[in-house]
Amino acid sequence: MKKTIMVCVLVVCSVFALSAAAYDRSDGFGLGLSAGYPTAGAAFKYGIGDFRVIGLLGYSFDKNIVIEAGVQYDLSRFNVERTPFYFNVGLTAAMYFRNDLDGLSINIPIGISYFLMDVPMELFFKLTPGIRIHSASVEPNLGAALGLLFYVNRKPARTV
């Protein structure tokens, strides 16, 4: 586990070094991967300025297929050594399927996004606290994910 985290940190740091000093956030449709717990899979975002529609089609560690959809809003921008990041929060709902509907969850993803300038890509990290509803119980649900999105029809957003 420690090796995996170290590799992820090194990849993210090397990608930051490849980014240009000029900066512009991507809008449009982004497709990519989200790796995390409890769900990993194909992720998408459609962004217009600070507002984004997000989704995921994936597989959870408790052997369920997951469909997730929601919205995200970029609350603020901050810099770490002149590298701009966006702090965002949202609301998502997920459905878990095994043979049929196995449960629902309502989550509040809290994340950080970094958009590369020269390549239409976004790196993101999110924590997803929420609740999961089974047929007989309601329990807390906490997840986290690290992901990469490639914007296929990049539209430069206004510079902040």
pLDDT at 120: 86
Lowest mean pLDDT among 16-20, 87-91, 106-110: 16-20
To the question of pTM greater than 0.85 for the whole model, the response is no
pLDDT at 79: 87
| Domains located in the chain, CATH noted | 2-154 (2.40.160)
- Using 50, 70 and 90 to split pLDDT, how confident is the model at 98? confident
CA 27, 29, 35 angle in degrees (round to 5)? 105
Model confidence pLDDT, tens digit, residues 61-87 = 888 999 999 999 999 988 888 788 999
